[in-house]
Structure 1
Amino acid sequence: MDGICEVCFHKCRLSEGQIGFCRARRCEGGVVGSISYGKITSIALDPIEKKPIARFHPGSYVLSVGSFGCNLRCPFCQNYEIAQAGEDQSGRVTIGSKTVSDRELYLETISPEKLCELAEFYQPRGNIGVAFTYNEPLTFWEYIVDTGKLIKEKDMAGVLVSNGCADTWVLEKVLPYIDAMNIDLKSFSKETYSKVLGGDLDQVKDFIKRAAKDTHLELTTLIVPGINDSVEEIENMGKWIASLNAKEDIVWHITRFFPRYKMDDGEPTDVSFVYKCAEIGRRYVKYVYTGNC
């Protein structure tokens, strides 16, 4: 029996046992669900500023977890080792066509209850809660909800770092348990999102608009030479961000690209250009930070 995954714009139609584009959701009995639920590939107690989130409990730490899989295919992916990994039809973990061992890819199953216990354990070290990050966490949104409920009961914070490529119904599911978000706004070109990233700009914009109304929101734009390094594009982004009916001032991080993944033979973004983009951004957005400079 076929099933349709409704999480994002891909709307993958999957036959029994088939895995979707994100490599993290599978059809079983005509229902598409997460195969990465609780399967943690990365866990660390990070400074909140590393997410990056600059104006939500600055100076604190957050227990950060990620799994595998992503519904985009950015050629400059900064966490491709896990974001571009997933299970194949036989249950093997792969990155692209390469099979990887458990030794190469750390993988541990952590229940929502156990993760909540870990978050409490690290409170004396400044931990404020749990951040779902590193890969695309909305591919296992069910885990975010189940963990988020427990985190809220302990009066701790939920943080989401996402590419924003998800239907707003998914956002509505996780929003009650998320206090702060950082969402990537990778480009302001529909063509770039579609042809280069494998994404959908309109869906990202809808996601951001909704998130801005009910949570602390910060955005990140990685300036990648030859992809989104247009002054006009940055200006259009700034104008659009300023137009949002946000709960509070939106924070915008404009960051420097370093060669990575399929673009590892390129050049880093010129630092002076990153600063120039930030100056343009500050014409429209109150809080603009530069990163990786």
Structure 2
Amino acid sequence: DETISKGIAHAPRRTTSHKNCVIFKGIAHAPRRTTSHENCVIIFKGVRVMSSTRHDLSKLARLVAYRKMDRREFLSQALKAGVLATAASIFLTACRRPPVAEVAPEEPTPSFDQQALTEARYYVKMEGETIQCQLCFRRCTISEGERGYCGVRENREGTLYTLVYGRPCSITEGSPIEKLPLYHVLPGSARLNLATAGCNFKCSFCHNWQIAARTPEEVISFDLSPEEVVERAIENNLQFIAFTYTEPTVFYEYMYDVSKLAKEKGLRTLLNTNGAMNPEPLRQLLKYIDAGNVDLKAFTAEFYQVTSFSELEPVLTTLKIIKEEGVWFEITNLVIPTLNDDMGKIREMCIWVRDNLGKDVPLHFSRFFPAYKLTRLPPTPIETLEQARAIALEVGLEYVTIGNVPGHEANSTFCPNCGETLIKRVHFSVLANHIEDGKCKFCGYQIPGVWA
């Protein structure tokens, strides 16, 4: 009942109650799940060995997990352990190198160990063992044994559990804050990024669909507690922890606990969200969030319904709430050819932002590149982005940039008062910063943001 992983990007937190002992090393991917069968298995660099008892593999397992070895040494050690009986068996297993790690034929998906799960927040019990999740706009009604739309919140005997607490499938360190994007928050700062499987949208243009459009069983995850996340950020001298890549709403409990602990340790937290969280959990979370970026994917309900299977109104509500709570935020609009590049609608969106959120909210027009289910569309013409930016400036928005076009002049931030370059950027790199004490150093104009 053990999985040991080393030398791969992501490792699973646990296996469930099965007889397998599976060790992976030197491979790109681990399998979706282990399954119930009598054999213990080791897979190493495409070589698969099996034994009828876990005891036979125990020594080899320790060697694989904690010692550097090449394929030749692995075969030698396997022979010594008596788990590779003949040269023929070596040849057969070595030649069958699968593109992903392979285990015995699958049985139904195993459940996560209930004792190790964390109860979800924001749900109400209904008739029988049915519950209703109240975390996001969907308010999923979930029968016993079923999951919500996001695929990571499961009803077990009338109690809602999160399946991704402490189970990030992506954790990266050192990427610039500009990549989130956040342009008015301590320029040039690095961050630790955290994400789990799952999303409450189904965007056809998702750039992270490999983890966002997957259930917990379909990705490989770390075992990382909130304390370990914060400790890791501190050890790497990272001031920020960012919740990003997938949709942080679906790992709310994990994010909340990490954020609260980060505050206690003097760190700051960043939220990159689709903006569809319900008001009550959002307000509670914002107590521990320092800045955020909200994806305003378009300004029509039809776009949200057709391309994201979601709704526009909850996003607009979220933007208003973040403004009310006094948390710094910026907005990103990914401009997709033929889908949301109508300049009339972009004008309406910019006017709404100005009238409801303020002229000083930074707006990023980002260039689309073919991805996921929209691979037949072309990249956004740069002229389209420039036209959108011109409209935004025309209606009175003060900080409008163009993203995903490295080297474009509009990567930079300009003073709306004197026109001088405040922050000179090339893509995500900061070349110069002329903001001093939150003001333009050329004319003294107050520039909103988080500068200290």
Same fold by TM-score, threshold 0.5 exceeded?
A: yes
Rounded to whole Å, the distance in 2 between the matches of 1:31 and 1:7 is: 15
**Is 1:73 the counterpart of 2:73 in the alignment?**
no
* Amino acid in the other structure paired with 1:134: Y
Rounded to whole Å, the distance in 2 between the matches of 1:3 and 1:139 is: 17
**Is 1:289 the counterpart of 2:425 in the alignment?**
no
Task: Please give the TM-score of this superposition, normalised by the length of structure 1.
Answer: 0.90
Q: Equivalent residue for 2:221?
A: 107
**Is 1:224 the counterpart of 2:318 in the alignment?**
no
Alignment of 1:29-178 (within 5 A): 29-45=157-173, 46-87=175-216, 92-93=217-218, 105-123=219-237, 127-178=238-289
Deviation of the 1:234 alpha carbon: 0.9
Answer whether contact 1:212 1:250 (CA < 8 A) is retained: no
Alignment of 1:208-247 (within 5 A): 208-213=319-324, 214-245=326-357
Rounded to whole Å, the distance in 2 between the matches of 1:176 and 1:222 is: 28
Answer whether contact 1:166 1:207 (CA < 8 A) is retained: yes
* Amino acid in the other structure paired with 1:287: Y
* Amino acid in the other structure paired with 1:34: T
The superposition leaves residues 228-283 of structure 1 with CA deviations (integer Å, 9 ceiling, x where unpaired) of: 0110111111111111255x931111000000000112211111111111111122
How many pairs does the alignment contain? 274
Dislocated runs of 4+, deviation >3 Å: none
Answer whether contact 1:212 1:244 (CA < 8 A) is retained: no
Q: Which has the larger radius of gyration?
A: 2
Residue 71 of structure 1 aligns to a residue whose secondary structure is coil
Residue 316 of structure 2 aligns to a residue whose secondary structure is helix
Residue 170 of structure 1 aligns to a residue whose secondary structure is helix
The superposition leaves residues 127-171 of structure 1 with CA deviations (integer Å, 9 ceiling, x where unpaired) of: 212000000011111111111111001111110000001111121
Rounded to whole Å, the distance in 1 between the matches of 2:187 and 2:152 is: 32
Q: Equivalent residue for 1:259?
A: 370
Answer whether contact 1:4 1:31 (CA < 8 A) is retained: no
Rounded to whole Å, the distance in 2 between the matches of 1:141 and 1:281 is: 33
Cα pair distance change 1:16/1:212, threshold 3 Å: same
Residue 287 of structure 2 aligns to a residue whose secondary structure is helix
Rounded to whole Å, the distance in 1 between the matches of 2:357 and 2:300 is: 22
* Amino acid in the other structure paired with 1:253: H
Answer whether contact 1:112 1:146 (CA < 8 A) is retained: yes
Q: CA RMSD in A?
A: 1.3
Answer whether contact 2:212 2:246 (CA < 8 A) is retained: yes
Q: Equivalent residue for 2:304?
A: 193
* Amino acid in the other structure paired with 1:74: C
Deviation of the 1:8 alpha carbon: 1.5
Rounded to whole Å, the distance in 1 between the matches of 2:159 and 2:279 is: 20
Aligned partner of 1:26 among 154, 161, 175? 154
Answer whether contact 1:160 1:180 (CA < 8 A) is retained: yes
Rounded to whole Å, the distance in 1 between the matches of 2:220 and 2:386 is: 37
Deviation of the 1:5 alpha carbon: 0.9
Q: Equivalent residue for 1:15?
A: 143
Rounded to whole Å, the distance in 2 between the matches of 1:222 and 1:133 is: 16
Deviation of the 1:38 alpha carbon: 1.7
